[in-house]
Structure 1
């Protein structure tokens, strides 16, 4: 790292990512993701439900191997009670011992895939994301020097780990907007397809939030 705090040999893409997240903060009040729900329902839900949601965090790991940058994802185990087989970031609900969302996200990543906390450089945060399972999730973005990276996957929680190029997940053209019907309402969501993996729901929403931040930086 150079005296001004920049990483030597940083690619233009990594610099754009860091610049986009440089002003993000973990302090309250945390920004809430724009869910783009119909009829302004997202605004109506804020005062009544958000205070009752359980706190959780995920780690969005950007892996660096030389000039190549990728985003790491997990495939949720079929043994889990909810969202079996779906694509996610390492993460989960906050424990009483977690001091904040960063410690929450790093602990979960270590438990799920064996990613050591000291290998992760936290570079920023995405907007908080409320889920249908009554959590409010804080996404934590970290860069990992992935040369000689060895993971230790907990099969009870994770069925597989894969990566997608960072330039792909940051490209707005990679996203497709779809809808699902729930309780008679058509709810919009984003999805993107990388090889055989369909990334959708909360994970794709967080990626869309990241892609917009980078595009606007």
Structure 2
């Protein structure tokens, strides 16, 4: 398949064939996904390097800093809260994403950006979020330099999605996302370069959610961090 830059807005990643699945890699142990284990991992971080740092650029605009919140919901079996962006948004419309967005001048730091955006998008009050730390920057093809902020979310939280930005809110088991048997590799030739990405499709009672691109890339780095 060959794509031109001008056709990117019409690009359907679900039509790109899977070229591999990483079932040969070991999943993160269930014990390592418990809240106390996650706290300890961020307190005593191992030496590690992210697998993915930047996507092939398709935007010519000046890069902007942004943050996302990776919200680990403290259920009996931890989950990750994700959103589907509304179809009318100018960036990444309709895609599966973490709560997050562009940094404002008034934000104290990347963590403040992530918490503010999570409150604006899904009504997450900061007092219900226990921030554990950050993962390395991930630069999207749309020229956002994103800081992923990992936080534990109290099960007592009450969420309310902003209909202007969020079409759906759902949760995926953390164990599913931290198992490379669910990490599918895709590859496409576009604009003179080979573009590669991961997808992690997840089926629940609502729909099959096609997690891919930057969201899947940051989850893959989270996996590498927990397995380091």
| Match status 1:53 vs 2:73 | no
Contact 1:177 1:190 in 2 (8 A): yes
What is the CA–CA distance in structure 1 between the aligned matches of 2:225 and 2:53, rounded to whole Å? 16
Corresponding residue pairs, total: 188
Partner of 2:147: 138
What is the CA–CA distance in structure 2 between the aligned matches of 1:105 and 1:207, rounded to whole Å? 16
The runs of at least 4 aligned residues of structure 1 exceeding 6 Å deviation read none
SS at match of 1:118: helix
**Distance 1:167-1:131 versus aligned 2 partners, 3 A rule:** same
In the TM superposition, what is the alpha-carbon distance from 1:17 to its structure 2 partner?
2.8
What is the CA–CA distance in structure 2 between the aligned matches of 1:113 and 1:184, rounded to whole Å? 38
* Aligned pairs (5 A) from 1:1-217: 12-14=32-34, 15-23=36-44, 33-35=50-52, 53-65=63-75, 67-147=76-156, 149-195=157-203, 196-216=208-228
**Distance 1:74-1:36 versus aligned 2 partners, 3 A rule:** closer
User: Which segments of 5 or more consecutive residues in structure 1 lack a partner in the other structure?
Assistant: 1-10, 25-30
Provide Cα deviations, 1:89-136, integer angstroms capped at 9, x if missing partner: 000000000010000000000000000011100012111001111110
In the TM superposition, what is the alpha-carbon distance from 1:162 to its structure 2 partner?
0.4
What is the CA–CA distance in structure 1 between the aligned matches of 2:176 and 2:37, rounded to whole Å? 14
Give the number of the structure with larger relative contact order, counting CA–CA contacts within 8 Å between residues 6 or more apart: 2
SS at match of 2:115: helix
Contact 2:73 2:152 in 1 (8 A): yes
User: Which segments of 5 or more consecutive residues in structure 2 lack a partner in the other structure?
Assistant: 1-30
What is the CA–CA distance in structure 2 between the aligned matches of 1:53 and 1:18, rounded to whole Å? 32
In the TM superposition, what is the alpha-carbon distance from 1:171 to its structure 2 partner?
1.1
Normalised to the residue count of structure 2, the TM-score between the two structures is 0.76
